[in-house]
Amino acid sequence: MKIKESPSRIIFRIVNVIIMILLAFVCLAPLLHVFFASISDPILLTQYKGGIILWPLYDATHPITGMGYTFVLGNAQLIRGYANTFYYVAAGAILSVLLCSLGGYCVSRRNTLWMRYLTLMMTFTMFFGGGMIPTYMVNKWLGIVNTRWVMVLMGLVSVFNIIIVRTAFQAIPASLEESAQLDGAGHMTILFRITFPLAKATIAVITLFYAVGKWNDYFTAAIYLLDRKLYPLQLILREIIVQDSGQNVFDAGESANNFSQYKKLLNYSTVIFATLPILCVYPFVQKYFVKGVMIGSIKG
């Protein structure tokens, strides 16, 4: 039997749907603006003085174009920056997940000596750090300045991620580990064959956290990298959009007038080019997001 809803309930549902649609539009509008601008005609795009673009700008004499993406895909510096960023994200994510899992496993042991004090020491580093200059001096002493290692090692271990992993590991029944120990399993076997698979939602979440943070990181490269061949994509993107030095990047024999004509189109195309991998990966990881964060935040 279908229950008849009250008028107030119906009004609430209608208002709720309208609000959610508006929120979705607010989230999607900037992305749609950048995408439609990236395929618009460069002349009409330069002349456009309106607000958000929700449809490509074109007419009979100025068709939709993919010229911006042709420039981007044909530019050696951007492709090299893309490859560098993939390397930094992939290598860093693997090492970060491994180290955060090891750290989370150690502090999640119920009988670990001085576990509370160890956790307090780790938490202390979340609020107090040595600063930029001491960090630079340490990296210079280690000999990793202007190398790929500085991009991989900086920010590799996050105390926040360790705490999330620790709480997720503590939620796993102790009886599973005790049974494995009775069968002769050591700590590494318990971690990688029992604990790790059961906490895959949390592992996926911290991987996403690290990957997004490293993908968007340009500040570390701006401080520690001098060789342009090591630049990540975001630093090159910053040169194009923020520093207004895109003509040095898109050096393809174009005159200053032609570059000025295509500058807006190249900016929008480069933004889509830079954000596309995250947009493609996020839908596959999103299903683990809420579950992983909640598992990692049940206990303190």
DSSP code, position 51: S
Q: What is the pLDDT of residues 88-139, one digit of tens each?
A: 999 999 999 999 999 888 888 877 777 778 888 888 888 887 788 888 999 9
218 and 271 belong to one structural domain = yes
Q: Residue 300: is its pLDDT beyond 50?
A: no
Which stretch of 11-20, 31-40, 275-284 has the lowest confidence by average pLDDT? 275-284
For residues 67 and 288, the model is more confident at 67
Mean local confidence (pLDDT), 61-80: 83
Q: How confident is the model at residue 292 (pLDDT cuts 50, 70, 90)?
A: low
Domain carrying residue 55 = 1-65
165 and 208 belong to one structural domain = yes
Q: What is the pLDDT of residues 208-233, one digit of tens each?
A: 889 888 988 889 999 999 888 999 98
Q: What is the pLDDT of residue 88?
A: 94
Mean pLDDT of the chain: 82
19 and 116 belong to one structural domain = no
Q: What is the pLDDT of residue 243?
A: 56
Helix (H) or strand (E) holding 243: none
Last residue of a domain, one of 31, 65, 99: 65
For residues 287 and 255, the model is more confident at 287
Query: What's the total number of domains in the chain?
Result: 2
109 and 227 belong to one structural domain = yes
**Beta carbons of 166 and 112 less than 8 angstroms apart:** no
59 and 88 belong to one structural domain = no
Q: Which residue's entry shows tokens 């950048």?
A: 34
57 and 79 belong to one structural domain = no
Classify residue 144 as left (phi > 0), alpha (psi -120 to 50) or beta: alpha
Q: How confident is the model at residue 259 (pLDDT cuts 50, 70, 90)?
A: low
Residue 210 belongs to domain with CATH number: 1.10.3720.10
Q: What is the pLDDT of residue 244?
A: 56
46 and 146 belong to one structural domain = no
Question: What angle do the packed helices 115-127 and 76-108 form, to 10 degrees?
Answer: 150
Q: Residue 276: is its pLDDT beyond 90?
A: no
Q: What is the pLDDT of residues 130-184, one digit of tens each?
A: 788 888 999 999 999 999 999 999 989 888 889 888 888 888 888 888 888 888 8
Last residue of a domain, one of 65, 95, 116: 65
**Beta carbons of 113 and 173 less than 8 angstroms apart:** no
155 and 119 belong to one structural domain = yes
3-class DSSP assignment, residue 152: helix
61 and 74 belong to one structural domain = no
Q: How far apart are CA 64 and CA 36, in angstroms?
A: 9
**Beta carbons of 297 and 167 less than 8 angstroms apart:** yes
225 and 151 belong to one structural domain = yes
Burial class (CB in 10 A: 0-12, 13-18, 19+), 145: middle
Last residue of a domain, one of 50, 65, 80: 65
Residue type, 233: L
CA end-to-end span of the chain, whole Å?
Answer: 45
Q: What is the pLDDT of residue 281?
A: 77
Classify residue 57 as left (phi > 0), alpha (psi -120 to 50) or beta: beta
60 and 76 belong to one structural domain = no
Burial class (CB in 10 A: 0-12, 13-18, 19+), 75: buried
Burial class (CB in 10 A: 0-12, 13-18, 19+), 170: middle
55 and 76 belong to one structural domain = no
Closest Cα to residue 177, out of 164, 163, 193, 199?
A: 193
